[in-house]
Amino acid sequence: MKSYDDLIAGYQRFRTGTWQTQHARWEELREGQSPKVMVIACSDSRVDPAQIFDVDPGEIFVVRNVAAMVPPFETSPGQHGVSAALEFAVQFLEVEHIVVMGHGLCGGCQAALTQSMHGRALGRGGFVAQWIAMLDEVREPIAREFGTTGREAERAMELAAVKKSLENLRTFPCVQEKEADGSLALHGAFFAISDGILHRLDETSGLFSAAG
């Protein structure tokens, strides 16, 4: 695994390599960004959206957090990081697509399923517990059918989390308006770490299928 010093060495290679060979691209990005796609993904180090979708800098606007979750639209005081990023992407960058990408072996989804962080103090798992409590509603039927351990239950939770985030996205007025007029499309996706296959959600059937 990389250390901080390894990252600095990587930066130095970037400065003498990609920065030079793609300098025209960086000059263009200096003037601003205009991505057409927003990707909401997990913070997990194994699922980098730019690598999975093979894109260059400036091509996707990315938000990453535990379990790739989108909270519902709320007007209560607080620090609404995901909501702020969503607002910026939709209202100011005017992205045309939002992709919610869950993934296999997601620790956040596993914790939501087992409730292993439940009751922990803030700073000792409590923040995680509060965040993944968004999945409590979808957890119940999964726990009844599959239990709370094993890959079948975990995969069901991982897929349900994508659907829940899409549902929460649609509570935002700006998303509702733009989806209704056809200027914004929402997509659900799931990346399987075990085999490297991306699955796409068909919201009509509710099923995920391999993208290729």
> Residue 65 forms beta bridges with which residues?
42
Strands 197-202, 97-103: pairing is unpaired
Give the CA count within 13 Å in the CB-facing half-sphere of 13.
6
Which tens digits make up the pLDDT trace of 132-164?
Answer: 999 999 999 999 999 999 999 999 999 999 999
**What confidence score (pLDDT) does residue 13 get?**
95
* SS3 label, residue 139: helix
> Residue 202 forms beta bridges with which residues?
207
Q: What length does the chain have? A: 212
**What confidence score (pLDDT) does residue 23 get?**
87
Which tens digits make up the pLDDT trace of 85-144?
Answer: 999 999 999 999 999 999 999 999 999 999 999 999 999 999 999 999 999 999 999 999
Question: How many C-beta atoms surround the C-beta of residue 21 within 10 A?
Answer: 9
**What confidence score (pLDDT) does residue 1 get?**
87
Tell me what the mean pLDDT of segment 156-184 comes to.
98
On whether the CB atoms of residues 37 and 187 are closer than 8 A, the answer is: no
pTM: 0.95
**What confidence score (pLDDT) does residue 159 get?**
98
On whether the CB atoms of residues 117 and 132 are closer than 8 A, the answer is: yes
